[in-house]
Structure 1
Amino acid sequence: MSVSLLAQNLHGSEIIKIAGEINELKRQGQNIANLTIGDFDSNIYPIPAELKQGIVDAYANNQTNYPPADGVLDLRESVSAFLKSRFDLDYTANQILISGGSRPLIYSTYLALIDPGDKVVFPAPSWNNNHYCDLTNAEAVIIPTRPENNFMPTADEIAPHLKGAAMLALCSPLNPTGTMFTKKDLEEICDLVIAENKTRKAGEKPLYLLYDQIYSQLTFGKHVHYNPVSLRPELKDVTIFVDGASKCFAATGVRVGWGFGPANVINHMKAIVGHMGAWAPKAEQVAMAKYLRQDDFVKGYLAELKGNIQASLNTLYQGFQQLKAEGFNVDAIEPMGAIYLTIKIDYAGKTTPDGTVLKTSADTNFYLIKEAKVAFVPFAAFGTDDNTPWFRVSVGASTLQDVQELLPRIKDALSKLK
C-alpha cells in the first residue's frame, strides 16, 4: 500500500530500535542495564509526593473535562511566577502555552514558524531536530560540534549558516551530552542572532531562536544555566522557550510542559496544539498549578533529585576516567546538567572473542549489550557520523548500585577485544 512521502522519508527513533534489542534479550531472561532512554524509573525516582496527592485530589474533584486550549489559567499564572522566581524572566499568562510534555511545543514551534524549504540551523549531536525538519520539509543545516567544546556549538561554528535562516534551535543543558553553554559562548551566539535580524527588511520573517531548557533545573556544582533573553533582552520578541515538569520533577508520564515566548507566536502554537489535541490532562494541570507555588517542597525535591542523579553521574565519570588511566581507549566529559553523561568508547576496528570486527559505534554498543549487559546510545542517533565513538549515558532508570556494578562488566568486556 502506498503511503505519503512524509511517511516514507521519516526515520524512526534510533533509541527505540536499541530498546527493541534490549527487550528481546530481557525476554530471553538476561538482565541488561538500560542506560538509553531519557526517562526515570518511577520506583527509583518517584514524582513529588505533594504533586502526586494533588493529582489524586484533582481526579477526586472531577477535574476530567477538556482543559482550555492554552492551558488552565491557574497553571499559566503559576508558571509565570515560577519563571520570575527561578530566572527573573517576565512572561504573562497570555505568553505561556501548556501542552502534553515538551514535544508538542517543539513540533508546534516548527509548524508555526517554518515553511517548506526554510533553513533550520541546529548542532549535532542534538535531540530530534532532524526529525522535526523532516516533518516540516525544512532544510536542515547541521552544525558539527567538537568534544573540545563539550559538544556545545560556538558562535564561530554557527555564524556562516545564519544568513537567510528561519530558525536556530539550541538546547542547554543539552540532550544528549549533559553539557551546557557558558555565559560567554551563549552571549556570542545571541549577538549573532541580533546582528542577523538587523539585516532583515521590514515584513521579512526574522531569525527565530528555539531554546529548549527542559533540563534547566538539573544543574550541578559550579555550572549555571543561562538563557538568551536574560542575557540579551532584545531577543524576547524572537525567542521561543521550551520547558516543563517532565525532567525536573521526574514526571515524564505526567505530561505537563510549558512553552513561552512572544504572544503572537504562542497564539499560533496554541491553535496548532489544539488541532493536535496535544493538551496536558486537566487534573495534572490543576495539581501542577498548586505544586509550583509550594516553593519549599519544590526546592526540597530538586535538592534530593539532583543529589542522587549527580552521585550516579559522578560515579560513572570517575569510573571512565579510571579506565582511561589504566590504558583503555575511553573518555568522559564532566557531568554538568540533565541526567546524561557523555562517554567515549573508541574500539572500532577491534575484534570480538567470536571473531566479529567492530566497524561502527552501533557495533560497539551491541557488543557491550551482549557482553557487558549494558546499553548506551551512540551519538549517531543524534545526527552525528556513524563512526563517532561517543555515546550518551542516561542514569534516570538506574540506582547508584546499578551504576557501580556495571563498571567492572564494561572493563571485562573491553579487555576481551583484540
Structure 2
Amino acid sequence: MEKNIDLKVSKLAQNIIGSEIIKLAAEVNEKIKQGEKVYNFTIGDFNPKIFPIPAELKSAIIHSYEEDQTNYPAADGMLELRQAVSKLLKERGELDYKVDEIVIAGGARPVIYAIFKALVDEGDTVVFPVPSWNNNHYTYLNNAKPVLIETTPENKFMPTAADFKPYMSSANLIALCSPLNPTGTTFRKKDLEEICDMILAENEKRNTENKKPLYLMYDQIYWALTLGETEHYNPVTLRPEMKNYTVFVDGISKSLAATGVRVGWSMGPKKIIEKMKSILTHVGAWAPKAEQMATADYLNDLDSYDKFLADIKTKINDRLVAFYKGFQSLKSEGFKVDAIAPEAAIYLTVQFSLHGQTTAEG
C-alpha cells in the first residue's frame, strides 16, 4: 500500500500560477478533440497548414541539420545570427545595435525572464498596463511589487504618460508592449514620446542622486505585423537618449509564423545584455544552433523576408478586417457587440455584452 506523502515544494512553486491563456487553449483543444464545434481564438499562434513558415527558412533549417549543426551554440547566440539581426534592425527597424548589444534565446519568454532577472531586485516595483501578457508572472518570479495600470477602450487599451505619472518616482521597471498582445493595438507616436520624456526626466534626477535607473522593457515581437496605414514606433528611434534605459524583446516567432522554431532576441545596453547572457547560460534557454544558423541565412536575404511579410500581412489583415466588419454589422443590427479596428499583430479586441442573456435553448 502506497503511503500518502505530503511532498513539500518551495514557496515560489507553491504559489506560482501557470499561464492562464495556455491552460485555456488546452481546454478548448480538448473540447475540439471531443467533437465540439469551438473556434480556438485563445493563444497567439498560427495554423501551419494555412500560415507555414517561409519555404526558404524551412529548407535552411533542414540544411543546417544535414550539415550537423547540432552542438552547443554560443552563449550569446551565433555570431552569424547576431550580425543578421543587427542588419535587419538597422535596415528595417531604424535601430542601430552592434552584435555585442544583442543576445539570442529560445523565443521571447526566456528573453523576458532574463530582462527581469537582470534589472529587478526583490521588492522592486514593476509597472505595467493591463491587459498585457504575463508581466504579472515575471514580477512574481522576482518577488517584486506589481503596479497595474488599468487601460481603456477609448485609448485602444494603450497606456498614456498620465497613467504612469503617479508611479515614476517609485518604479524600477516599466514593461510595455506594442503592437499589444492581446489587443492588436499600437502606441500613438505622441503617447510613446511623452512616456519616454517622463522616463528620461526621472533618470536625470536619479543620476544626480546616484540611484539605479528606471528601465523600460519594450516588447515589440509583433512590430513587423502592422496592418494598413498603422506605423510602429519604438522608444529609441523617437528618443535616442532612451537607448541607455531600454531593453527590447524581439524575434521571428510572430513575423515569420515561426512560434515553434523558438528563435528570439533582445537588444539593449551592452552591460545589461552581458548579464542577460550569463543568466541565460544557467537556464540553458538557447535557441537550437541549427535554427539559429538557418535564421541567419534567411535574414541575410531581406528581399525574401519582405516578400514573405507582405504576403502574411495581407492574409492576416483580410481575416481581421472580415471579423471586424462582421461584428460592426451585428452591432448595426442591434446586437450588443463592438470591436476595435485592427491595427497590428494577429488579434482583434471584441466586446460581447452578454451578461444576463440566454441562448435559444435556454
Q: Same fold (TM over 0.5)?
A: yes
Partner of 1:50: 56
What is the identity, as a one-letter code, of the residue corresponding to 2:236? V
Question: Once the 2 structures are TM-superposed, how far is the Cα of residue 23 of structure 1 from its aligned partner?
Answer: 2.8
Question: Once the 2 structures are TM-superposed, how far is the Cα of residue 20 of structure 1 from its aligned partner?
Answer: 3.3
* Residues 21-30 or 121-130, more deviating: 21-30
Partner of 2:103: 97
Partner of 1:148: 154
Alignment of 1:10-409 (within 5 A): 10-200=16-206, 201-352=208-359
What is the identity, as a one-letter code, of the residue corresponding to 1:163? S
Question: Once the 2 structures are TM-superposed, how far is the Cα of residue 69 of structure 1 from its aligned partner?
Answer: 0.3
Distance 1:304 1:35 in 2: 22
Question: Once the 2 structures are TM-superposed, how far is the Cα of residue 202 of structure 1 from its aligned partner?
Answer: 4.7
Q: Deviations over 1:370-407 (max 9, x none)?
A: xxxxxxxxxxxxxxxxxxxxxxxxxxxxxxxxxxxxxx
Question: Once the 2 structures are TM-superposed, how far is the Cα of residue 320 of structure 1 from its aligned partner?
Answer: 0.5
Question: Once the 2 structures are TM-superposed, how far is the Cα of residue 353 of structure 1 from its aligned partner?
Answer: 5.1
**Does structure 2 conserve the Cα–Cα contact (< 8 Å) formed by 1:9 and 1:134?**
no
Distance 1:261 1:281 in 2: 22
**Does structure 1 conserve the Cα–Cα contact (< 8 Å) formed by 2:226 and 2:343?**
yes
What is the identity, as a one-letter code, of the residue corresponding to 2:281? G
* Residues 99-108 or 9-18, more deviating: 9-18
SS at match of 1:195: helix
Distance 1:14 1:353 in 2: 30
Q: 5+ residue gaps in structure 2? A: 1-6
Partner of 1:8: 14
Distance 1:296 1:313 in 2: 26
Partner of 1:379: none
**Does structure 2 conserve the Cα–Cα contact (< 8 Å) formed by 1:323 and 1:330?**
yes
Distance 1:89 1:20 in 2: 38
The number of equivalent residue pairs is: 355
Give the TM-score, by structure 1 length.
0.83
Distance 2:330 2:360 in 1: 20
Q: 5+ residue gaps in structure 1? A: 356-418
SS at match of 2:292: helix
Distance 2:137 2:283 in 1: 18
SS at match of 1:19: helix
Distance 1:303 1:243 in 2: 19
* C-alpha RMSD of matched pairs (Å): 1.1
Question: Once the 2 structures are TM-superposed, how far is the Cα of residue 312 of structure 1 from its aligned partner?
Answer: 0.4
Distance 2:176 2:204 in 1: 21
Partner of 1:393: none
**Does structure 1 conserve the Cα–Cα contact (< 8 Å) formed by 2:29 and 2:40?**
no
